Amino acid sequence: MAKVIMESWRYGLQVVCLTKLQYEKLGLSLLESKTNADTLLEDQIIILEIEDENVAREFLEEADRFGVNCRLLS
């Protein structure tokens, strides 16, 4: 199991894309995905536990592209 730590965000964060990414790639509910994005905007850390390490890496790369400062713990 891998953990993706979403620590902070950069100017221009694509909130809708981040929400959609969590929903589609991780199978989170739309409500949970949106809540995570909103919580990140409030400068709180989000920890996502992901079964497949390859999926975690893909998520990390895409989240970074959308403006999230994140890291992977495996």
pLDDT digits (tens, 9 = 90+) for 37-58: 999 999 999 999 999 999 999 9
Q: What is the pTM of this model?
A: 0.92
Residues 57, 60: Cα–Cα separation, whole Å: 5
Residues 52, 37: Cα–Cα separation, whole Å: 22
Q: What is the pLDDT of residue 35?
A: 98
Distance between start and end Cα atoms, the chain: 7
Q: In sequence order, what are the beta bridge partners of 3? A: 49, 73
- The sheet with strand 2-9 has its strands ordered as 46-50, 2-9, 68-73
Q: What is the pLDDT of residue 74?
A: 81
Domains of the chain, each with CATH number or no CATH:
2-73 (3.30.1390)
